[in-house]
Amino acid sequence: MYIYLPIALTSVNLLLVVGLGLLVGLLSGLFGVGGGFLMTPLLMMIGIPPTVAAATDANQIVAASASGTLAHWRLGNVDFKMGLLLLVGGFVGGALGVHVIKVLRATGGADFLIKITYVIMLGVVGAFMFFESLHAIKKQRAVALLSEEERMEAERKARKKARAKVKKKGIIASLPFQIYFEKSGVSHSAILPVGLGIFVGVLAAIMGVGGGFLMVPVMIYLLRMPMHVVVGTSLFQIMFTCVEVTFLQAYQNHTVDIILAILLLLGSTIGAQVGTKLGKKLHGDQLKILLAMIVLGVTLKMILGLVLEPSLLLAHGGGH
């Protein structure tokens, strides 16, 4: 069964598009990522123009992340305080990033920078998460094999290491505006999440994505938030970012295809709910290693796309 898309000016298979939404929604609920880094290339592969694919993707992410945020909020997994600070930073960073791109486009070479940033960021984040999770899983298995005495000794060593780490955080700990984030069980200066939000916002704007796959590792490794709170908080922040992007794309560029968005969100909202429930059954490190493998897969595909000669030497404008 086919359906015509009035803004994309193309006809698509209804089940294929709903299926794509379901798949990306599942990932969104599982990992707290918007899925933009996966959905936009997939839409382009089925013939949607790049500019329409990116804008409509932001529209469907609003639905998936709203659905996911609600599910995580019910489970008590959304740190609103942290989410709002990251959001403030994200908005500022997004505006800065758009300006950076404008300057780069004027001087030439922007496309090259965007593509290289994309590959490097995805590769570094994916590889780091993969090896870190692998190490954690191996460690858990080793601990399970230890005797009670050896286990206590290992725990004592780990506590000592953690105390040393806290001492090392000296400069960050001495920053003003210290806030305790009850939900995440961590204390940070408000400057840290706002600053990190700006950093991710700049990169997300340069790369043309929502930034979920960057924000999740930032929350885990730099803000030291527990994995279950990271997913809910990330979805909360992504929802607001994509509301802004959708409206601007519809208003300025006329590139949001509402029919395509409805088909995608039919799948993605259900997928997000299923993903959230599935995520509860999986261990944090198992989740991280799965996400790392997906990110590395996308990176590999992008590298192949960069080094192998394309069959067509012409393309529509927009996209990456």
Partner 1 sequence: MMIKAAMVLIALLVVCSFGRAWALTVEANPEKIPITIGYHGTTITIRGKGLNAPDIIIQIHSKLGEEHLKYKGKAGGIFWMKLGNIVFEDVPKVYLVYSTRDMHNILPQEACRQLSIGYDALRDKVRIKTKMKDLDRDKWILEFLKFMEEDQLYDEEDGVVHIDKENHTFSIEVNWPFEAPPGDYQVQAFAVENGQVIDKAQTSIKVERVGLIRQLTHMAFEKPALYGIIALVVAIVAGFGVGMVFKGGGSH
What's the CA gap between 183 and 235, in Å, rounded?
15
The one-character DSSP state at 175 is S
CB of 9 to partner 1, least distance (A): 6
**Closest separation between CB of residue 188 and partner 1, Å?**
29
Would you give the DSSP letter of residue 75?
T
- What are residue 12's phi and psi, to 5 degrees? -130, 160
Q: Closest approach of Cβ 72 to partner 1, in Å?
A: 10
Residue 42 CB, nearest approach to partner 1 (Å): 19
Size, binding site for partner 1 by CB under 8 A: 58
- Looking at residue 309, what DSSP letter applies? P
CB within 8 A of 82, min separation 6: which ones? 181, 183, 184, 193, 219, 223, 225, 233
Least distance (Å) from partner 1 to the CB of residue 6? 5
Question: What are 227's two structure tokens?
Answer: 């994995």
By CB under 8 A, the residues from 270 to 299 that bind partner 1 are 270, 272-273, 277
x/- mask, partner 1, residues 37-66, rule CB under 8 A, reads: ----------x-----------xx-xxxxx
Distance of CA 279 to the CA centre of its chain: 16
Task: Give the integer Cα–Cα distance in Å for 117 and 125.
Answer: 12
Binding residue for partner 1, selected from 24, 27, 53, 71, defined by CB under 8 A:
71
| Cα–Cα separations (whole angstroms), residue 258 to 24, 197, 240, 250 | 18, 29, 18, 10
Residue closer to partner 1, measured from CB, 218 or 270: 270
Please report, in angstroms and rounded to a whole number, the separation of the first and last CA atoms in the chain. Answer: 30
Judged by CB, which is closer to partner 1: 230, or 272?
A: 272
Positions in 158-217 near partner 1 (CB under 8 A): none
- Token pair 């259900």 in the structure block, residue: 270
Q: Residue 228 or residue 288: which is nearer to partner 1 going by CB?
A: 228
CB 37, min distance to partner 1, A? 17
In this chain, which of 2, 131, 177, 221 binds partner 1, going by CB under 8 A? 2
Q: The tokens of 290 are what?
A: 């799965």
Q: How would you classify the pairing of strands 2-5 and 10-13?
A: antiparallel
Q: Of 123 and 136, which CB lies nearer to partner 1 in the complex structure?
A: 123
Nearest distance in Å: CB 242, partner 1: 8
Distance CA 9, CA 277 (A): 37
Single out the residue of 96, 190, 259, 296 in contact with partner 1 (rule: CB under 8 A). Answer: 259
- Minimum gap (Å) between residue 196 Cβ and partner 1: 26
CA separation, residue 169 to residues 81, 163, 172, 268 (Å): 22, 10, 6, 40
Task: Indicate which single residue of 103, 106, 144, 308 sits in contact with partner 1 (rule: CB under 8 A).
Answer: 308
Applying CB under 8 A, does 269 fall inside the site for partner 1? yes
The piece of 130-138, 178-186, 189-197, 310-318 that touches partner 1 (CB under 8 A) is 310-318
Q: How far apart are CA 267 and CA 19, in angstroms?
A: 6
Residues near partner 1, by CB under 8 A:
1-4, 6-7, 9-11, 47, 59-60, 62-67, 70-71, 74-75, 111-112, 115, 243, 246-252, 254, 256, 258-259, 261-262, 265-266, 269-270, 272-273, 277, 305-310, 312-317
